[in-house]
Amino acid sequence: MDYQSRGIDTNQAGVHDDLSKLVKKHFATEFLKPIADHSAAAFAEVDAKVQTWTGPIVLDSCCGVGESTLELAKRHQDALVIGVDKSGHRLNKNKAYGEASERCLLLRADLNDFWRQAIAAGWQINRHYILYPNPWPKAKHVQRRWHGGPLFPSIVALGGKLELRSNWLIYLEEFAAALALAGHSSNIQALSSEIEPITPFERKYQATAQVLWQLQSNLC
């Protein structure tokens, strides 16, 4: 298969100058956007499963077509693994990678609602993966990045062992800086070029010889 990817096109040379101000603002204020009815209904269905589950819980946010969720279920065989994406079109492609199961759930939901509902319901996350989120690489779009937006405190509050992957190092450096402002340490390292890809983006970036980066932080 012929993959084409130009890499990241950005006008930023380092961590955004406004990041600290944005993170502090979002921790000092409450995000009050109402939960959408469809989000509440989708969450209630999966929450019923979570409340009766006695093992670890793994959350795969921005799971896309669900390939990563299915793979994570293989790697964490004692866990309930939940993949969440806002696109039903993407999720409907998961059968190309395997079948969901009672222990591996794929859910269409808006993470802006889902994360807040999970916190309100008292979920105890063991591991949280955010793999290759949209980096919004233009400097003017910093507030669209998870760490620059109002939902960053929710990511921190969910806890667990957090892992992000990206082909844009600055994205992870910013995320690490935001975590530090929230009182959490993290580490960033380059992934081996020999790793087995677990998302279509990871596969595409590998095929075009881009360096892939991983951030890990223990938010427990």
Residue 112: which CATH number? 3.40.50.150
Q: How far apart are CA 187 and CA 127, in angstroms?
A: 16
Residue pair 211/167 in contact by the 8 Å Cβ criterion: yes
Task: For residue 127, tell me if it sits in a domain.
Answer: yes
Q: Which residues pair with 80 in a beta bridge?
A: 57
Q: Which residues pair with 128 in a beta bridge?
A: 59, 162
How large is the average pLDDT for residues 155-162? Answer: 98
Q: What is the pLDDT of residues 139-155, one digit of tens each?
A: 999 999 999 999 999 99
Q: Tell me, what's the pLDDT at 220? A: 83
Task: For residue 66, tell me if it sits in a domain.
Answer: yes
Residue type, 151: L
Task: For residue 89, tell me if it sits in a domain.
Answer: yes
Task: For residue 3, tell me if it sits in a domain.
Answer: no
Residue pair 53/25 in contact by the 8 Å Cβ criterion: no
96 against 116, higher pLDDT:
116
Tally of structural domains, the chain: 1
Q: How far apart are CA 58 and CA 116, in angstroms?
A: 16
Q: Tell me, what's the pLDDT at 2? A: 37
Residue pair 156/178 in contact by the 8 Å Cβ criterion: no
Task: For residue 4, tell me if it sits in a domain.
Answer: no
Q: Tell me, what's the pLDDT at 160? A: 97
Residue type, 117: Q
Residue type, 48: A
How large is the average pLDDT for residues 47-55? Answer: 95
Q: Which domain holds residue 151?
A: 19-218
Instruction: Give the CA distances from residue 7 to residues 54, 162, 169, in Å, rounded to whole numbers and listed in that order.
Output: 42, 24, 11
* Three-class DSSP category at 152: helix
Task: For residue 9, tell me if it sits in a domain.
Answer: no
- Is the pLDDT at 17 greater than 80? The verdict is yes
Task: For residue 195, tell me if it sits in a domain.
Answer: yes
Residues in the chain: 220
Task: For residue 10, tell me if it sits in a domain.
Answer: no
